[in-house]
Chains A and B, each alone.
Chain A
Amino acid sequence: MTDNSKDFELVNKYLSGDEIAFNRIVNKYSKKIYWHARRMTGNHFDADEIVQDVLMVLYRKLDQFKFNSSLYTYIYKITVTRSLNFIKKEKIKRLFFIDSKLNSINNSEHDIIKGILNKEKLERLDKHLQKLPAKQREVFILRHFEEMSYEEIAEITGKSIGGLKANYFHALNKITKMTNYD
Chain B
Amino acid sequence: MMRKTITLLTFSLLCVGLNAQSKKKQDIKAIKDMCGCYEVSFKYTETFAPEIDYEKAHDYTSGALEWAQLIEDDKDKISIQHLLVINDSMVIKHWRQDWLYENTNFYRFNGDSSWKFETKSKDEVKGQWTQNVYQVDDSPRYSGSATWIHADGKNYWENKADSPLPRREYTKRSDYNIMKRGNRHEITSYGWLHEQDNDKIIREEGKDDKLLVQEKGYNVYTKVDDSKCKVAQDWWAANHDTWKTVRNKWDDVLARNKDLKLKPKVKDKALYEYLFYAQKEMDESEISSLVDKFVE
Co-complex (A, B) = no
Q: Which residues of B contact A (CB under 8 A)?
A: none
